[in-house]
Amino acid sequence: MVDEAQEKKKDVQTIGDGVGPRYHRVYTVDLPVTLERARETMSELKKDINAFSPQWIATFDKKKGDPGELNLGDEILVRISGPWNGPVRVTEVTNEGFAFCTLDGHIEAGNIHFKISRASENTTKFEIESVTRSRDQIVNFFYDKIRFAMLAQTEMWELFCQNFAKHATRDEDLKPEVVVKTERQDEKTGIWEDVSHELGTHGTESTAKPQD
């Protein structure tokens, strides 16, 4: 009999399955709200991700799991404009956030975290952090070489962060700055380099080294 846990792992597209350089990306937006309020917004996000995602770029279609909830093992198909659809599985759920791993067929291989953290008594940070590689050489060309896919990804998650801020503050006119930090790992030396400036974005100091 096949072990269920092993069977689940078979379809995971780990970062080791990818090709090309590793990318560590962090999108951060400061929220003028308490951690308690940010937790309420995070709860809203977990119930309906599509309410926060720019629909003209990406929609989230629950394939496994109860609608209106987000639990470990849930599976979601992220439908992105163009031939970029990607399945993911929920690997972590807490009051402060959740995480996805990529499954077979996703254009990337790796993981992504959505999280909130207290910045001060009345301010909170919302972050989206990913560590990924391209699925294959074709994706790597569009992502790493000409960076078309990366720029589209940047726009998507920047708008996602801004929508989270609008929900948290109840201010639909709010257009907060989203700080985007992008680091690329050299395939030969293993050294991480901040390439944010090459993308027209700006980074901040990392608080932790990216994990595979």
User: Which CATH number do you get for residue 86?
Assistant: 3.30.530.20
Angle at 24 between CA 18 and CA 27, to 5 degrees: 130
What pLDDT score does 205 carry?
Answer: 40
Tell whether 4 is covered by a domain.
no
Tell whether 75 is covered by a domain.
yes
DSSP string, 23-61: EEEEEEEEESS-HHHHHHHHHHHHH-GGGTS-TTTEEEE
Tell whether 186 is covered by a domain.
yes
**What is the Cα–Cα distance from 124 to 36, expressed in whole angstroms?**
9
**What is the Cα–Cα distance from 62 to 107, expressed in whole angstroms?**
18
From 13-17, 47-51, 197-201, the region with the lowest mean pLDDT? 197-201
Tell whether 106 is covered by a domain.
yes
Question: pTM (2 decimals)?
Answer: 0.89
What pLDDT score does 10 carry?
Answer: 65
Decide if 127 contacts 119 (C-beta within 8 A): no
Tell whether 206 is covered by a domain.
no
Contact residues for 198 (Cβ-Cβ < 8 A; gap 6+): none
From 13-17, 76-80, 175-179, 205-209, the region with the lowest mean pLDDT? 205-209
Number of domains making up the chain: 1
- The whole domain housing 22 covers 10-199
Tell whether 207 is covered by a domain.
no
Tell whether 170 is covered by a domain.
yes
